[in-house]
Amino acid sequence: MAHGPDDAKSTGSADEADLLRFGYQETMERRTSRFASFAVAFAFVSIATGIFTTYGSTLRSSGPVGIWTWPIVVVGQLAVALVFGTLAARIPVTGYVYQWTSRLAHPGLGWILGWLSFTFLAIAAVAVDYTVASTVLPALLGYGETAGNAWAVTAGMLFLQALLVAYSTKWSERVNNTAVIAELVGMGALVVLLLVVGAFRSDLSAGNLFSTGSVPAEDYFGFGGLTHTGPWVLGFLLGAFTIVGFESACNLAEETRDPETVVPRAMWKAVVASGVLGFLFLLAVTMAAGDPVAPASATPVADVIQRVLGSVAGNLLLSLVAVSIFACGLVIMMTGVRLIWAMSRDERFPGWRAWRKVDASTGTPRNATFFLLIVTEAILAVFANQTDALLNLSSAGTLLPAIIYTAVVVLYLVRRRRLPAGHGFSLGRFETPVAVVALVWLAFELSIFRDSSFAEPWIYVCVMTAGGALYLGWLLWRRGLHGLAMPDMHSIDAGFKAGPDNRDGGTA
């Protein structure tokens, strides 16, 4: 059925009324469509980014057979996305984790999780751009794979992404939408071409899919010990690093039309699409990888593509991958800026007076964008000279969301019976089983990080948490507990008294 201007106007009025019930005036323009919301979630997940970042380390730690952990991760993260969907349908406000936990548990806990989300987004932006600078562009442009080159290229990409986010949400979304289409087409083409050309040239080996490569087969499937993790278990980090960030769609809730319906569906569809396409790509790359025992290069995926498809076709497809990874960093930057702005709107973020402003000419939180740019450049300066910078960045970018997701799912299980019924998305009788699956998966994922090789990511988490705790303590000292109360905190249910039957659109 076609929708005319009156339908759009009534939907916009209903969205604005919902936001008022949570204590906020409409500030951002609601321009994000269904596809744009999906594109934001899909771009953050970005299978191109995740696989190009971690495939080499997976070969070294788990061998080719480690890719079979991917479907398990997809099921676990899909369960998390569904839980997040139920919360997004109930509290469709920018700030996602910060808003949800502040209103459902305590503003202090919400602040800590909001701060951890900020630290995750800041380091994830660096990790993503460092990926394209160190694993894709060297093969595409032919420059040396040195720490200095990766640093310079990453710094430039962060600056370009910040300019887009600061000056035009419209163009940021257009770039991202185009990049997502390119990623879907490009990754699909890569799968088909690698399989067809590889089979024609007899370059495919199904045996690779079940080889441990250079990893010893003894105790391969063991869980590990107190301070070390078994080889196959480490393979779960391939999917765990990649299938994250789907919740980015929640952080554009106040810019999305009918967010209670659109955002939850954008998240689970992004996980499913990424999971299926990503696994097909892993199968194709692994079968075409050649000798499974040979040491993995710094750019194994790019090497396979160029060897099998040749330089011309390989470079064309690598260019599409580079665009996809750039879009992933762009979406992370956009998501982080919205979180800073949301916390600053509530006078909670350090320097909030400057970051809560929305520029009248661009309609964007421009100050918050340049602040995040400075933070990401500082993180890059700390990590970039390390020989294992990409591993540490990706590990921290996997650990932080696992902690955040676990806290939110636990809170959901504890408080779900006190939540109002969602009118845009609901799990119905599957609510408890899905949440339990999510919690079991997250507990297992966190157990992987007991390995001593993840000491530096834990240090980063602890340092950032301690810094946040100090600022929270200062806020409590200055304002007291009452000073952290959320707008319209007294009644979440009041926002839903109208019910689905009294809203335009209803439950889709």
Q: pLDDT tens digits for 376-435? A: 999 888 876 666 676 777 788 889 999 999 999 999 998 877 766 667 888 888 989 999
Q: What percentage of the chain has pLDDT greater than the value 90? A: 38
74-78, 162-166, 286-290, range with greatest mean pLDDT = 74-78
Residue 224 clears pLDDT 90, i.e. is over it: no
Q: pLDDT tens digits for 94-113? A: 999 999 888 888 888 899 99
Six token digits for residue 146: 């040195």
* The one-letter amino acid at 65: V
Q: Domain extents for the chain?
A: 46-502
33-37, 125-129, 232-236, range with greatest mean pLDDT = 232-236
Residue 288 clears pLDDT 70, i.e. is over it: yes
Radius of gyration, CA atoms only, the chain: 22
Confidence (pLDDT) at 387: 63
Q: pLDDT tens digits for 313-337? A: 778 878 888 888 898 899 999 999 9
Burial letters for 190-210: b for 16+ Cβ neighbours within 10 Å, e otherwise?
Answer: bbebbbebbeeeebbbeebbe
Residue 340 clears pLDDT 60, i.e. is over it: yes
Confidence (pLDDT) at 143: 74
Nearest to 325 by CA among 497, 127, 98, 110: 127
Identify the weakest region by mean pLDDT among 244-253, 348-357, 385-394.
Answer: 385-394
Burial letters for 323-353: b for 16+ Cβ neighbours within 10 Å, e otherwise?
Answer: bbbbbbbbbbbbbbbbbbbbbbbbebbbebe
What is the distance between the alpha carbons of residues 297 and 317, in angstroms, rounded to a whole number? 19
Confidence (pLDDT) at 2: 40
Residue 255 clears pLDDT 60, i.e. is over it: yes
Residue 21 clears pLDDT 90, i.e. is over it: no
Residue 500 clears pLDDT 70, i.e. is over it: no
Identify the weakest region by mean pLDDT among 224-233, 266-275, 301-310, 476-485.
Answer: 476-485
Confidence (pLDDT) at 42: 92
Confidence (pLDDT) at 496: 38
Which CATH code is given to the segment(s) 46-502? 1.20.1740.10
Nearest to 193 by CA among 281, 272, 299: 281
What is the distance between the alpha carbons of residues 288 and 276, in angstroms, rounded to a whole number? 19
Residue 132 clears pLDDT 90, i.e. is over it: no
